Amino acid sequence: MLSIEPTGKIMGAKVTGVDLSKPLSDAAFGKILAAFGAYGLLHFPKQTLAAAEHAAFMARFGEIHGMPDYKDPGSPDVNIVSNIIENGKNVGHPDAGMIWHKDMTYTPVAGYATSLNAFKIPRRNGQALGGTRFVAVQAATDDLPADVIEKLQGTYGLHSVEKFNSVIRQAGSKRATYSDIPDDRKRPVRAHPMLLTHPVTGKSVLYCDFNHIESIYGLEPQESEELLAFLADHQMKPKYLYTHEWDEGDLVMWDNLSTLHCATPDYTADEHRLLKRCQAMSDKVRNRGFIKAALSAASAA
Ligand SMILES: O=C(O)CCC(=O)C(=O)O
Ligand SMILES: [Fe+2]
């Protein structure tokens, strides 16, 4: 039987009693979608999925948007994230998510759900390394002062890949500068409201990926800079942080609309880590008919 057990921490729930390698019933999908809205992160232990099964599960949530590099041979919709080098070549994306971010904020339809399925997790003295850290942005939003909420109303964050790359270059990454990116990979700046109505919960949630936002449209430049700095500090308060420590077979999915995340590079090149990644965009969940049908199938079961 499908069971959803909250972590008891600021976010997240563990989901058992479901085999993600098989198509989900509408009732199970509806329950998972509702829990995903409520907890922001779902942990499904003991799911070692074939890439095509992983992609089929994620396609229930939205259109799949794979990364161009390091595709899994089993599905073009699944990518590999890993520090493993074979025959002198990286087998997966070696430095994914090394600073705080949301996935795909720089596309017209923003990223919704990202999932990682763990195949190899580094351990030292029995302790898992390379945990993924998250911010419970819904909780942080609920605590924002009324004057900040008022200031954010009607404003837009201008999201760009180049802003993100410039921040990681400062941290030592060799990511290309905008002029060095091939034309077909150049991404224009995209505007998204600073406050979203979450499509599943109906709650107002801050959409502030401070490492992707160049400025807030609708404010004076200095006001925008000060507010972005405030929102970064506010979201990063330790009380909103949650870490997922991986075990092989875990499938963890997170809601990019209501969380931020960051990888933890606390392991060496000899300590191998390999996860398979899939990502669903927010096209489906923006459709109220889709949400209504999914949630009513859950309650009818
Ligand atoms: O490897 C991780 O812990 C997170 C990587 C990441 O940011 C992603 O897959 O979107
Ligand atoms: Fe990410």
Q: Identify the nearest ligand to the CA of 93 by its number.
A: 1
CATH number at residue 287: 3.60.130.10
Q: Whose CA is nearest to atom 3 of ligand 1?
A: 263
- The minimum-distance atom of ligand 1 relative to the CA of 114 is 10
Pocket of ligand 1 contains residue 284 by CB under 6 Å: no
164 CA to centre of ligand 1 in angstroms: 15
Q: Which residues line ion ligand 2, judged by CB < 5 Å?
A: 97, 103
101 CA to centre of ligand 2 in angstroms: 6
Handedness of CA 171, 104, 19, 77 (dihedral sign): negative
Instruction: Give residue 164's domain range.
Output: 3-300
- The minimum-distance atom of ligand 1 relative to the CA of 277 is 9
pLDDT over 70 at 96, yes or no: yes
pLDDT of residue 180: 67
Kindly give, in sequence order, each residue whose CB lies less than 8 Å from that of residue 295, ignoring residues fewer than 6 positions away: 30, 33, 34, 200
Whole-Å CA distances, 294 to 18, 24, 33, 61, 206: 17, 12, 8, 10, 24
pLDDT of residue 161: 87
pLDDT of residue 184: 64
Q: What is the pLDDT of residues 272-293, one digit of tens each?
A: 999 999 999 999 999 999 999 9
Supply the pTM of this predicted model. Answer: 0.95
pLDDT of residue 81: 97
pLDDT over 90 at 179, yes or no: no
Pocket of ligand 1 contains residue 263 by CB under 6 Å: yes
Residue 185 — very low, low, confident or very high, per pLDDT cuts 50/70/90? low
Q: What is the pLDDT of residues 239-253, one digit of tens each?
A: 999 999 999 999 999
Pocket of ligand 1 contains residue 81 by CB under 6 Å: yes
CA distance 96 to 93: 6
Tally of domains in the chain: 1
- The minimum-distance atom of ligand 1 relative to the CA of 98 is 7
Residue 206 — very low, low, confident or very high, per pLDDT cuts 50/70/90? very high
Pocket of ligand 1 contains residue 103 by CB under 6 Å: yes
Pocket of ligand 1 contains residue 102 by CB under 6 Å: no
Pocket of ligand 1 contains residue 259 by CB under 6 Å: no
Q: Spell out the SS3 assignment of the chain.
A: CCEEEECCCCCCEEEECCCCCCCCCHHHHHHHHHHHHHHCEEEECCCCCCHHHHHHHHHCCCCECCCCCCEECCEEEEEEEECCEECCEECCECCCCCCCECCCCCCCCCEEEEEEEEEECCEECCEECCCEEEEEHHHHHHCCCHHHHHHHCCCEEEECHHHHHHHHHHCCCCCCCHHHCCHHHCCCCEEEECEEECCCCCCEEECCCCCCEEEEECCCHHHHHHHHHHHHHHHCCHHHEEEECCCCCCEEEEECCCEEEEECCCCCCCCCCEEEEEEEECCCCCCHHHHHHHHHHHHHC
Q: Identify the nearest ligand to the CA of 132 by its number.
A: 1
